[in-house]
Chains A and B, each alone.
Chain A
Amino acid sequence: QKEVEQNSGPLSVPEGAIASLNCTYSDRGSQSFFWYRQYSGKSPELIMSIYSNGDKEDGRFTAQLNKASQYVSLLIRDSQPSDSATYLCAAAAGGTSYGKLTFGQGTILTVHP
């Protein structure tokens, strides 16, 4: 079992729809979780961080965390073609040390006009 697991997709949604991206993690000690967006050939760009159970909203993006189920999700409302990219879920290492991020393999999202 991978430490952070995502559906690789591709996920295709029409413009204006809601895109739902999911991620599960295995380290129960992880406290912080991150969603990055990566365009082809570019660096990962931070979209959201979340560390409390529940929802966190920022513009068109909503991150959801359920620690009991070890599940993180990202919702993108009113999807735009410019949202087409690979979305990476990452979990920060648990315990007293911190820093190491464990990434999922990424979900490819395509938003078609």
Chain B
Amino acid sequence: EAGVTQFPSHSVIEKGQTVTLRCDPISGHDNLYWYRRVMGKEIKFLLHFVKESKQDESGMPNNRFLAERTGGTYSTLKVQPAELEDSGVYFCASSQEERGVPRVEKETQYFGPGTRLLVL
């Protein structure tokens, strides 16, 4: 079974440009999460989708960030316009959401390899 995949693996852009990150969750996982790790800090939650609906977007830094999950499959995270402080590693994770699955299983998240974003 394929794991969580992310594209691109690296992105270097200039301040003011737009970047779109993509995440493909594990097949059948309805929960999809975005996290970010900036240099020297811990991994921070950005938002959580259940299928195509945003369940929790409390971690989104500001309105320059837009996440979508049309059709409830893959997700994109767009940063427009990018700022220097947006540099970091963006991780995507997914987990199960089937009825009857214990809570701990729904909360068990599997992470993708991340996208390393550098804004110059």
Q: Check B43–A99 contact: CB distance below 8 A.
A: no
Q: Check B42–A105 contact: CB distance below 8 A.
A: yes
Within 8 A of A (CB), among B91-109: 91, 93, 95, 103-104, 106-109
B41 to chain A, nearest CB (A): 7
Chain B residues, CB < 8 A from A97: 55-56
Q: Does B75 contact A (CB under 8 A)?
A: no
Write out, one digit per residue, whether chain A residues 24-50 have a CB within 8 A of any chain B CB (1) or not (0).
000000011010100000111110010
A87 to chain B, nearest CB (A): 13
Q: Check B45–A43 contact: CB distance below 8 A.
A: no
**A interface, over-half SS:** loop
B69 to chain A, nearest CB (A): 14
Given contact pairs A51-B104, A97-B55, A44 touches B111 in the complex (Cβ within 8 A) = yes
Q: Check A32–B104 contact: CB distance below 8 A.
A: yes
Size range of the chain B interface in the assembly: 20 to 34
Q: Does B113 contact A (CB under 8 A)?
A: yes
Q: Does A72 contact B (CB under 8 A)?
A: no
Q: Check B108–A34 contact: CB distance below 8 A.
A: yes
Write out, one digit per residue, whether chain A residues 68-91 have a CB within 8 A of any chain B CB (1) or not (0).
000000000000000000001000
In the complex, A45 Cα to B116 Cα: how many Å?
17
In-complex Cβ contact of A100 among B59, B108, B112 (8 A): B59
Interface residues of B (CB under 8 A from A): 31, 33, 35, 41-45, 48, 50, 55-56, 58-59, 91, 93, 95, 103-104, 106-114
Other A-B pairs beyond A43-B91, A101-B93, 6, CB < 8 Å = A44-B111, A46-B109, A99-B48, A100-B33, A100-B48, A100-B56
The 5 closest A-B pairs by CB, nearest first: A92-B107, A99-B48, A103-B43, A105-B42, A43-B111
